[in-house]
Structure 1
């Protein structure tokens, strides 16, 4: 990517809030009419939202779903500070300024028809978007694993899909994915019913061990979540010799590559380099970030 190529793909759009639903743990699902951004969004991309007219700094939110035909985008976020507190007070019918879509998306390879998607906490949204894209592509068989240490932002239900080799009682699933006929499972250390008691990467390891060598070679891992989870995911990929892409979460100011406030060290063919998470990422090869 040339230094300024991203500038031709980012829009600033006055969206209209269609709905905002509250969930336990101060989590919210925000649904916005923004046809320009919806038509360009890809799994792994994000948007920079103006939370309130009195707060000049925008906040980056991963896109959870986008419908180009009907012109809407959906976000899942957790209240963590002043900006998201103000955003949570916004009402349907209000206008909201959105900058996006921003960032390099996940790159899907048909050579790996058995994708394993790992989403932790507010890293869940990109995995939902990616799962939807894989579903529409039609020749992938994804498995989505999600972890959270606060209540999940949906009412989980027992899965209709049997996944051999998983611990007994691990049956909790995301209803949206079940409706798409995509198997999913949940993990937490909080003892939620139907969830795997442990880390999401441990649940993934259980599943990978059930696969025959030929099946394992069909797996590529895609992940988004907290830094320790992504580091563990990279280690899991090395353990099984699997390709892995991770979407990084970093604080950012401008979100369009100008301030360089979100740089991370990445290994390239030319050696170590500092890359901007906003426009060079947020998706990177795991081995380039976690060496």
Structure 2
């Protein structure tokens, strides 16, 4: 994995360009942050001051970044005082953005079948990685599965892009990915029409089982989501002997490696070590974090 990227972190007063609300307090925020946009990579995040009333920042995964237009986009859920204040901020107002932060995903061109698994607020890095692959890695073919137990923060759309091993009744995907020519499917336990009724790892298993052994050897998994989901993804990768990178979600204070408030235990060549999710991660090899 790459060395940390602390020397490319920028602090910017960013104008809010858009703030779109979805069901159950979910929001897509777009800000003008050209320095962050120019350096952002899939798997990285920004540390955002939600409101002058709250000095503590909130880490938000980067969902999209456009270097040519200088904007960065985030998906977040208003679940506490900070993000609730952020949700009240209006277009034209300014928020302070520090980023991009962290170790990004590393694409493996020797594994041209990329399986992207995003759950809940772990969906944004998968969209970011999908767009990066589309624009920069034409030799890699991504397949994206996303899960949520609240309404998806976008309008679902029946996909015209077929996937082996996936039943025809599991039809819905993300319209943006459909526009990019990237097949996607959705999973949930909420009985949505067109959505897989079950866990995202079970949906991924159906797809993997439809591949030949030679095809499975071409797969690398990239994933982000809550810890229980990532444990299941790591177990899936071990089951099929597939390499897997995971982006961890942790509470953090400084987000630049100073406070060590976001450490996790990681297996290294020298033995177990405590690593900071903010700068040593958030992306790690799954096998080094989950047994």
Q: Normalising by structure 1, what TM-score?
A: 0.98
* Deviation at residue 164 of structure 1 after TM alignment: 1.9
* Deviation at residue 2 of structure 1 after TM alignment: 11
Alpha-carbon distance in 2 for matches of 1:290, 1:62: 21
SS of the residue 1:153 aligns to: coil
SS of the residue 2:260 aligns to: coil
Alpha-carbon distance in 2 for matches of 1:165, 1:225: 23
* Deviation at residue 168 of structure 1 after TM alignment: 3.6
Is the contact between residue 6 and residue 101 of structure 2 (CA under 8 Å) also seen in structure 1?
A: no
- Match of 2:41? 42
Distance 1:197 1:243, change over 3 A: same
- Match of 1:181? 181
Alpha-carbon distance in 2 for matches of 1:218, 1:247: 21
CA displacement 1:211-231 (0-9 Å, x = unmatched): 011110110000000101000
Alpha-carbon distance in 2 for matches of 1:138, 1:90: 38
Residues 148-187 of structure 1: pairs in structure 2 closer than 5 A: 148-187=148-187
Alpha-carbon distance in 1 for matches of 2:94, 2:79: 22
State whether structure 2 residue 261 is matched by structure 1 residue 255: no
- Match of 2:290? 290
CA displacement 1:192-216 (0-9 Å, x = unmatched): 1110000000000000000011110
State whether structure 2 residue 85 is matched by structure 1 residue 86: yes
Residues 1-291 of structure 1: pairs in structure 2 closer than 5 A: 6-136=5-135, 137-291=137-291
SS of the residue 1:60 aligns to: strand
SS of the residue 1:194 aligns to: coil
Alpha-carbon distance in 1 for matches of 2:23, 2:6: 37
Distance 1:171 1:2, change over 3 A: closer
CA displacement 1:235-262 (0-9 Å, x = unmatched): 0000001000000000000000000000
SS of the residue 1:115 aligns to: strand
Q: Normalising by structure 2, what TM-score?
A: 0.98
Structure 2: 5+ residue stretches without partners: none
Is the contact between residue 248 and residue 281 of structure 2 (CA under 8 Å) also seen in structure 1?
A: yes
Aligned residues: 290
Runs (4+) off by over 6 Å:
none
* Deviation at residue 19 of structure 1 after TM alignment: 0.4
